[in-house]
Amino acid sequence: MKKLLALSLFFGAFTANAAYVSFDFDVYSSGSSIYPCNAGIKHQGYSDRVCYNRETLDACTPPSGSQQESCQEDPTGPGCDCVCTGGFQDDNHQGDGEWLMDTLEATSYAWSENGDAIDPQTQQVHSKSANQSGKVLFNDASRFNRQLGSLVFNLGSERYGTEYFLDICYRATQIDYTGSAQPNHALQRRVTISDLRPDGDSTPDNTDWDFNDDIVYAPGASGTYQNLAGLEVKIETLCRIKGVNGNPDTQFTESTSWMSLAAMQVAEHFTNHSPSDLRGCVFRYKFREGNRTGIDSIRKWRMHAARICTETAVNEADVTE
């Protein structure tokens, strides 16, 4: 009997020391998404048209009144061989052709989740350049909800001077970071431009043409599009930072100066350790044709083409780097 009591107390002691815990925890998962989302085009008008002599390439004044009669008698007289951009001087639309023939064409579809197939119902969008405010595909409120599938700028205006842009939209993770856990984003942006010429440098400089001919590309010796246009790029960044402790979101903006793409093929810009807990960003790659004055502003007839590649990355940066 004493042995049974001892055993009972022995096992009872172990039972009394047993412990149990139940603990629940939550997991929130949200990645990021980055995609081309918007584009626009603009071509500011000109205060003066360009007139030049076709033989000397010197500036000239087209004949008027009695001078026109003199040119009929002597075609070699002053101003008789004068070529000008635009239409007639007394035409209300005299200068429209200098800027109005630029368009952008794009395919667009609804934003899709990472790993999901795109919406097959694509939207074809077309926009013609505007003289003052420009034209954009989507307004600021809707651009995050669209993705671009393709984009082409067709520049057929008489003169260089077109401005165009591409927006890259970035949706940051929806996780809220506080205290020492706040990320340190590195923003990386790069623009690369390459010449597009299907025939390479083999296209002869004296290519004949008639109504039945296809596109005539310029020979390599004539220069690249970016060189002839005086192309420049400027990268603008607008990010929204999540509010903390009930405070509203704040904004972070950054802009580079204009960088010439005529003298180089690659333009890069880096920002290390941007404001930490981002809600999202828009990276705008702005391009402009800088040759707007004189005979150099007249767009070449032979086709010049270029492919512009933008690269954008938002990465967590190690502050010890």
**What's the rounded mean pLDDT across residues 131-140?**
85
The predicted pLDDT at position 203 comes to: 52
The predicted pLDDT at position 168 comes to: 97
**What's the rounded mean pLDDT across residues 135-149?**
91
The dihedral through the CA atoms of 146, 150, 151, 156 has a sign that is negative
Cα–Cα distance for residue pair 108/195, rounded to 1 Å:
26
Report the greatest alpha carbon distance in the chain.
145
The predicted pLDDT at position 69 comes to: 67
SS3 12: helix
The dihedral through the CA atoms of 32, 35, 38, 40 has a sign that is positive
Sole residue written with tokens 């107390």: 9
Tokens representing 231 are 């192309």
Taking CA atoms, 167 is separated from 143, 154, 237, 284, 286, in Å, by 9, 18, 10, 4, 9
φ, ψ for residue 120, nearest 5 deg: -65, -15
Question: E-assigned strands of 78-145?
Answer: 82-84, 102-110, 123-128, 135-136
- H or E element at residue 9: helix 2-16
The predicted pLDDT at position 321 comes to: 47
The dihedral through the CA atoms of 311, 317, 318, 321 has a sign that is positive
φ, ψ for residue 153, nearest 5 deg: -105, 120
pLDDT tens profile 256-313: 999 998 767 788 888 766 657 888 999 999 999 999 999 999 999 988 999 999 999 9
Classify the phi-psi angles of 100: left when phi > 0, otherwise alpha if psi is within -120 to 50, otherwise beta.
alpha
- Mean pLDDT check: name the lowest of 4-8, 145-149, 300-304: 4-8
Please, are residues 149 and 118 in contact by the beta-carbon 8 Å criterion? Answer: yes
From 319, 88, 17, select the one nearest 183 (Cα to Cα): 319
Tokens representing 96 are 């429209």
**Cα dihedral: 158, 160, 162, 167 (round 10):** 130
Cα–Cα–Cα angle for 294, 206, 87, rounded to 5 degrees: 35
pLDDT tens profile 162-211: 999 999 999 999 988 876 677 888 889 999 998 887 654 455 555 666 66
Tell me the domain boundaries of the chain: 34-46+94-316, 51-84
315 or 201, which is more confident: 315
Cα–Cα distance for residue pair 231/236, rounded to 1 Å:
17
pLDDT tens profile 35-49: 999 999 999 888 888
pLDDT tens profile 88-130: 665 555 567 777 788 999 999 999 999 888 877 777 777 888 7
Please report how many Cα atoms fall inside a 13 Å half-sphere around the Cα of residue 242, on the Cβ side.
17
The one-letter amino acid code at 305 reads: A
The predicted pLDDT at position 118 comes to: 83
Evaluate if residue 237 carries a pLDDT over 80: yes
Rounded mean pLDDT of the chain?
82
Evaluate if residue 34 carries a pLDDT over 70: yes
Please, are residues 171 and 32 in contact by the beta-carbon 8 Å criterion? Answer: yes
- Mean pLDDT check: name the lowest of 18-27, 141-150, 236-245: 236-245
Task: Using a cut of 0.95, tell me whether the model's pTM lies above it.
Answer: no
Classify the phi-psi angles of 246: left when phi > 0, otherwise alpha if psi is within -120 to 50, otherwise beta.
left
Please, are residues 38 and 148 in contact by the beta-carbon 8 Å criterion? Answer: yes
